[in-house]
Amino acid sequence: MSEAIEIYDERMRALVSPTASLQKIADGARHSEGPVYIPKDDCLVWSDVKANCLFRWSATEGVSVMLEPSQYQNGHALDLEGRLVACSQGERAIVRREHNGMWHVLVDRYQGKRLNSPNDLVVKRDGTIWFTDPPYGINELDQGYGGEQEQPGSFVYRFDPATGEIDAVVTDLTRPNGLAFSPDESLMYVSDSASYNIPNGAHHICVYEVVDGRRVTNGRVFAVIEPGYADGFRVDEHGNVFSTSKDSVQVYAPDGTRLGKIPVPETCSNLTFGGQEGNRLFVTLGKSVYAIDLNTRGMQQP
Ligand code: MG
């Protein structure tokens, strides 16, 4: 079903076999997003944001509903204890699933005002949660419960669940969306998906240098994503960036060179590495979830 993998740079050949192909593992969703792989259960969890539902898939058990309503959860990650942490666009908060299965709000305010609608997040090795906060969950009527924007912009935040401290670390993007660290966490990448509904808006991934493990500096454009824009993306063990776009998963070397493309049948929203070896790439598209085996492993888990 899938088109051939496109190779623009020889480095691509080491990352994915030319004969690797996408396998569909789920379909029938309205807007699949926010996938995370859970090693101890060998399963994938992801959001159907517009259906207000959280799904789970494993090879042995297939697809099941994990949480409904999901309060319009979007991005997911695992914390250092293996607990699910999620961006709740409905609650306008970062939430965590405790070991007893109960979800609770970790943070929903910055400087006394409500967050917009957290979209995607990553857990750093020190346990801090870094997340983006565009307003899609309050401006798009099928992605949240609506409401007024209280923050003066769409920021990237660093939140420390141990202390409750929250800081805005990036304030100069229009619609920060996906984010990831480089393997040594010296760099942070953030996508800006402004072109989704802003004429001439940005459609690129920026990269920042991380200072003292808690703030960033020297932001610059890492890659302009075409066609479409980058929603979610991840970094592999070698520092290569695997990004979503309108027509494909696009692969960029740490120097910003586009190495190749893995065509996909629908616009892809997000992706994550998983599988027992960490080399399986799960991709959420509009209605579907696909998987493809790679020759490289992900670095997103602490
Ligand atoms: Mg997103």
- Domains of the chain, CATH where assigned: 6-293 (2.120.10.30)
Between the CA of 274 and the centroid of ligand 1 the distance, in Å, is: 18
Between the CA of 72 and the centroid of ligand 1 the distance, in Å, is: 12
User: Is the CB of residue 225 less than 8 Å from the CB of residue 203?
Assistant: yes
Distances, alpha carbon 171 to alpha carbons 81, 219, 269, 288, in Å: 30, 11, 23, 33
Q: What is the reported pLDDT for 2?
A: 58
Between the CA of 212 and the centroid of ligand 1 the distance, in Å, is: 27
Between the CA of 4 and the centroid of ligand 1 the distance, in Å, is: 26
User: Is the CB of residue 159 less than 8 Å from the CB of residue 124?
Assistant: no
Give residues with Cβ within 8 angstroms of 153, minimum separation 6: 171
Q: Nearest Cα to 230, choosing from 284, 156, 178, 189?
A: 178
- Indicate the pTM of the whole model: 0.97
User: Is the CB of residue 241 less than 8 Å from the CB of residue 251?
Assistant: yes
Question: Helices in the chain by DSSP H: which ranges?
Answer: 136-139
Residue range 42-52, pLDDT digits in tens: 999 999 999 99
Distance CA 195, CA 175 (A): 9
pLDDT at 18 > cutoff 90: no
* Chain-centroid distance, C-alpha 179: 6
Between the CA of 204 and the centroid of ligand 1 the distance, in Å, is: 13
Q: What is the reported pLDDT for 3?
A: 78
What integer best gives the mean pLDDT of the chain?
A: 96
